[in-house]
Structure 1
Amino acid sequence: MTELNPPFTDLDIPTADKGFYQGYSLPIALTAKIAFALLTVWALLRPGSAEAILSLLNTEILGVFNLFYIIAVGLFAWFLLIVAAVPSSGRRKLGKADEKPEFTYFSWFAMMFGAGLGVGLMVYATAEPMNNWGQNPEIIKGDVAAYSAEAVQSAYRYTFMHYGLHAWGIYVVTGLCLAYYAYTRDMPLTIRTALTPLFGRYLNGPVGHVVDILGVIATILGVAVTIGFGISQLVEGFYSITGMEWLLQSGQNGGPPHPSAVGLIVALVVVMLLSTLSAVSGVGRGVKYLSNLNLVLSSLLLLVFVVAGSFGFAMTTYGTALTDYLLHFPALSFEAYSASSELGEWQTGTTTFYWAWWIAFSPFVGLFLARISRGRTVREFVFGAVVMPSIVCFAWMTILGGTSVDLELSGVAQGAIIDASATNKLFATLQFIVGDQVYGIVAVMCAVLILTFLVTSADSGLLVINTIMAGGEEETDARHRVVWGVLLTLVIAALILAGGGGLVVLQNAMIIGALPFAFVMVMMCVSLAKALYRDHHRDKWAEVQEGAIDAS
């Protein structure tokens, strides 16, 4: 056995030593601000051009890179499972040998859950199972009929796929790569750090700046789409509570009413104001307390569905769907269709869209997961941040979504839930399972939960953006959090207005911004595999040397 050289850890990210940008990397901060300022101005001054060009690019990307997205995300999930299962890598601690975790399991899980999928679970708890019940590959192939009892199993197979091990695996690949170098090698907690085993000192210059900028761009667009969906559901909720007509506008081509541009902008300003205030207070206070509140309110909402919803149907569905999902997991990991076929059109519009969304969200969630996971082992991190959240997501979507499916199957809803907009399906379902007086209370609780989930996602995103721009420094200037809070608000508002009050332009921008970072993530996996192998080799060498000294 030969001795290996020590790992490269001399990562130098120059930051300004005075002025407003003191402690920040000027190339990263200024490039990101200029890019999003130009995007905002373009969307506001030329909304038609912005919508057409972003839509065209989005279509081309989903068509050309569909196979890449499917294979890459499948590899991420299997990579993490293998890393956790291998004894030498799974038992490694993300920190010093005697280091204890900063947060309790409850707070750790609450922050992880709130940042990772809080808003998505509120928006898609009922919408995702219902949409897949109406169309999925089994239905397109003609094996089962849409909205039939036979289609429930395949509907949940793809629901679990979109919100299960693959989705959380995307987040944890980034989080594990960042945490491993930051806490075992005392390197900066920033995106470029994860590629040091491959590129070494080249990351001290422009190459490293590009990697971090791609992380900032993906983060902002991923958070922007999440906030866009969240405020849409928030507006729907307030309309169901107050009946204020200005909150909604008529749907196109006979579709259901949807939130108006004015309603979305008002909700956006409220959310971002609260998010910026929370971000200024830091992770240990604002984010932690809001995340704990999210988990408590989520449990109460779940209890409402357990008591008043179709719990028996949901639990039966949960058992059969989970078994079906696990049996199909290997095939689902790499199941890709031609983008030009009907199956391919479904896949690019659902699965590939989700993977792009999770990838765009992964610099933010991954860095945030790394920030709150110091002191835990690799196996604990993978199990706690991939397997456990997936199981909870499955239960959540089965209990809430299963109630919606059962109401339609039994003929109680008579198509009312199916016909409702995606962001209104939750409230449409609640109207069937609770009385009018109780509905008001539950609807208010849902609105508060959506609001706190939005605030948690946005303020965590602001903290992460500033951490990347500050070269991995976790304690950043509050003024910059405020500036980015304002800029993020303007970007989201401009893209909403460019889409005529819809979220399509926002989604298109996110998918385009996610693609470059997807390639970075593939390199992260290769980089971490190399680092784990060589560190294991170094440990063995150290044991041999220690044994030789003892023998002498």
Structure 2
Amino acid sequence: MSNKVTLVFWISIAISALSVIWGTTAPDNLKLVTKTVRDYISVHFGWYYLLVVTLFVIFCIFVIISPFGKLKLGKPDESPDYSLPTWFAMLFSAGMGIGLVFWGVAEPLHHYVKNAPTAEAGTTGALKESLKFTYFHWGIHAWAIYAMVALSLAYFKFRRGAPGLVSATLYPILGEKVRGPIGKAIDIIAIFATVVGVATTLGFGATQINGGLSYLLDIPNTFWVQLVIIGVVTVLFMFSAYTGLSKGIKYLSNANMFLALILFAGMLIIGPTLVIMNVFTDTIGQYLRDVSSMSFRLAPFDDDKSSWIQGWTVFYWAWWIAWSPFVGIFIARVSRGRTIREFLIGVLVVPSLVSFLWFSVFGMSAIELDNAKEIANLATEKQLFGTLMEYPLGTILSIVALCLIGTFFITSADSATFVLGMQTTNGSLNPPKTVKFSWGLAQASMAAILLYTGGLQGLQNALISAAFPFSIIMLLMMYSLYKALNEDRLKLKQDKKARKNAQQSEGSSTSM
């Protein structure tokens, strides 16, 4: 596969550069435009996000239980490139790392103390809802979005030998048009959604590192400190990118899992362990019971509840969609050799269960504190550290949390530079280092500008705006994948029947 820089690279990098220039020269205008677009999409297309994401879940379940699940992502005799533990570590690190640490305390605590989806804040009902809806936002639906993109890319890349491009997955329905302007436009939309999605997550990471340093060491919690943090981490992830996928990302992913396990186990042991496990078990049951109704809940006749859905559920669906080109391509890259059924079960179930446990441990550890309301009133990026410092070994766990955020930060950016490099060099699995470095700087610059123009709200505005066009491409990918799976299954049946007839003919001629 050629690693030549393509026209898609130059157009995409130009669009990213223009966005950075816009944010630098007219920050108020950028903030206003992204807010206007975000409000319009949230209000007028919230129903669309809910239906589309639920459709992705249904499609993934259908493929798991169908005969398609036996097909392999690669040649029939290929074995997986990575062991199961390393594969899970890479899935988890690329998929949700910084987000879990950022929202682990903040989301359940917010729903319980300030604004429960349907119950009265501060009640037992609000407590149960706080975890049930957090599971909903971070569970099967989120990973179905990733799985949809990843499966499509992996299937066409490793089974049909197509370039590792989003546009290439649409060949069954667009034909040769994927190699022309339409295909390039599709790839550019995917790339820009990736840049904004990753930049948003890097912005969350920078604010939480700053929040932790501010809470622990009284370092000012300002944009300029966050800019320094982004700069330092940019240098680190570029060094990691320089070492390549097998070394840099693999080692960092394993380091992430090690640090996450220390933080998780430490909080589980020193926190209210029995309460955590009891509530986890109870709320998992409620989540499984109510997941269907939550999937379609829009509350059209209640402005307060509708606003909650737009601010949380629609935001999360947009976040996962914007991240899906990046995470999907990365998951596809590390999943060669697995069957479709193994792939989908692994991607949907394992990270979801880990996320449920994570939110139960950190959410309940905060909710059970006597000063839970005071912690809920801290800045979002400080709530994790406010909770940790209420428990024994809080300082040590806070230091571990800062290190974990840093390694997640580096892994996400590192993975994204590889994915963006791959997408802008015609699917090359070894994009030039200059291309990866260019995308590293673009991501860091975009994160800085989004923070500068609107902080966390600005990040959310940009995210919802960027996700909408790619969701349409995802629908096309789903149909294209189904068409390809059906073609290959029928071809396999015909080949099997032909071999059987040949064997019978050979047996008949031998017996004569």
TM-score interval w.r.t. the shorter chain? over 0.9
Residue in structure 2 matching 1:48, options 18, 25, 28: 28
2:450 is aligned with 1:495? yes
Contact 2:118–2:305 (CA<8 Å) still a contact in 1?
no
Structure 1 partner of 2:510? none
Matches within 5 A, 1:269-280: 269-280=231-242
Q: Deviations over 1:323-361 (max 9, x none)?
A: 111111222222233398222111111000000000000
Matches within 5 A, 1:130-529: 130-133=109-112, 134-139=114-119, 145-244=120-219, 247-248=220-221, 260-338=222-300, 341-407=303-369, 412-413=370-371, 415-434=373-392, 438-499=393-454, 502-529=455-482
Find the residue that maps to 1:335 and give its secondary structure. Answer: coil
2:75 is aligned with 1:106? no
Question: Using the alignment, how far apart are the partners of 1:396 and 1:151 within structure 2?
Answer: 19
Count of residues in Structure 1 that have an aligned counterpart in Structure 2: 504
Cα separation, partners in 2 of 1:78 and 1:463, compared to 1, 3 Å: same
Question: Using the alignment, how far apart are the partners of 1:225 and 1:403 within structure 2?
Answer: 27
Structure 1 partner of 2:508? none
Contact 1:317–1:398 (CA<8 Å) still a contact in 2?
yes
Cα separation, partners in 2 of 1:497 and 1:414, compared to 1, 3 Å: closer
2:21 is aligned with 1:25? no
Question: Using the alignment, how far apart are the partners of 1:280 and 1:320 within structure 2?
Answer: 46
Matched AA of 2:153: L
Matched AA of 2:456: L
Question: Using the alignment, how far apart are the partners of 1:219 and 1:299 within structure 2?
Answer: 28
Contact 1:40–1:490 (CA<8 Å) still a contact in 2?
yes
Contact 1:241–1:444 (CA<8 Å) still a contact in 2?
no
Per residue, is there more helix in 1 or in 2?
A: 2
Question: Using the alignment, how far apart are the partners of 1:163 and 1:488 within structure 2?
Answer: 24
Residue in structure 2 matching 1:78, options 58, 66, 83: 58
Structure 2 partner of 1:67? 47
Contact 2:215–2:386 (CA<8 Å) still a contact in 1?
no
Question: Using the alignment, how far apart are the partners of 1:194 and 1:135 within structure 2?
Answer: 42
Structure 1 partner of 2:509? none
Cα separation, partners in 2 of 1:381 and 1:414, compared to 1, 3 Å: closer
1:414 is displaced (CA, Å) by 5.2
Structure 1 partner of 2:107? 128
Question: Using the alignment, how far apart are the partners of 2:269 and 2:324 within structure 1?
Answer: 35
Question: Using the alignment, how far apart are the partners of 1:442 and 1:127 within structure 2?
Answer: 17
Question: Using the alignment, how far apart are the partners of 1:506 and 1:32 within structure 2?
Answer: 20
Matched AA of 2:497: V
Matched AA of 2:447: I
- For normalisation by structure 1, the TM-score amounts to 0.89
Find the residue that maps to 1:476 and give its secondary structure. Answer: coil
Q: Deviations over 1:137-190 (max 9, x none)?
A: 322xxxxx2021222112211110000000111111000010011111111111
Contact 2:207–2:381 (CA<8 Å) still a contact in 1?
yes
1:136 is displaced (CA, Å) by 3.3
Structure 2 partner of 1:19? none
Find the residue that maps to 1:137 and give its secondary structure. Answer: coil
1:264 is displaced (CA, Å) by 1.0
Question: Using the alignment, how far apart are the partners of 1:514 and 1:488 within structure 2?
Answer: 16
Cα separation, partners in 2 of 1:414 and 1:513, compared to 1, 3 Å: closer
Find the residue that maps to 1:136 and give its secondary structure. Answer: coil
Find the residue that maps to 1:415 and give its secondary structure. Answer: helix
Contact 1:339–1:348 (CA<8 Å) still a contact in 2?
no
Question: Using the alignment, how far apart are the partners of 2:436 and 2:494 within structure 1?
Answer: 45
Cα separation, partners in 2 of 1:217 and 1:89, compared to 1, 3 Å: same
Question: Using the alignment, how far apart are the partners of 2:372 and 2:177 within structure 1?
Answer: 62
Contact 1:294–1:449 (CA<8 Å) still a contact in 2?
yes
Find the residue that maps to 2:401 and give its secondary structure. Answer: helix
Contact 2:23–2:450 (CA<8 Å) still a contact in 1?
yes
Question: Using the alignment, how far apart are the partners of 2:243 and 2:44 within structure 1?
Answer: 43
Question: Using the alignment, how far apart are the partners of 2:117 and 2:227 within structure 1?
Answer: 37
Cα separation, partners in 2 of 1:414 and 1:331, compared to 1, 3 Å: closer
Find the residue that maps to 2:368 and give its secondary structure. Answer: helix
Which consecutive residues of structure 1, in runs of 5 or more, have no partner in the other structure?
1-12, 16-21, 140-144, 249-259
Contact 2:366–2:372 (CA<8 Å) still a contact in 1?
no
Which consecutive residues of structure 2, in runs of 5 or more, have no partner in the other structure?
506-512
1:213 is displaced (CA, Å) by 0.6
Matched AA of 2:52: A
Contact 2:388–2:395 (CA<8 Å) still a contact in 1?
no
- Aligned identity (percent) is 34
Contact 1:339–1:345 (CA<8 Å) still a contact in 2?
no
- For normalisation by structure 2, the TM-score amounts to 0.96
Q: Deviations over 1:397-446 (max 9, x none)?
A: 10111111111xxxx22522221122111101111112xxx333222111
Residue in structure 2 matching 1:543, options 496, 499, 502: 496
Q: After the TM superposition, which parts of structure 1 deviate over 3 Å for at least 4 consecutive aligned residues?
A: none
Matched AA of 1:23: K
1:306 is displaced (CA, Å) by 1.5
1:48 is displaced (CA, Å) by 1.2
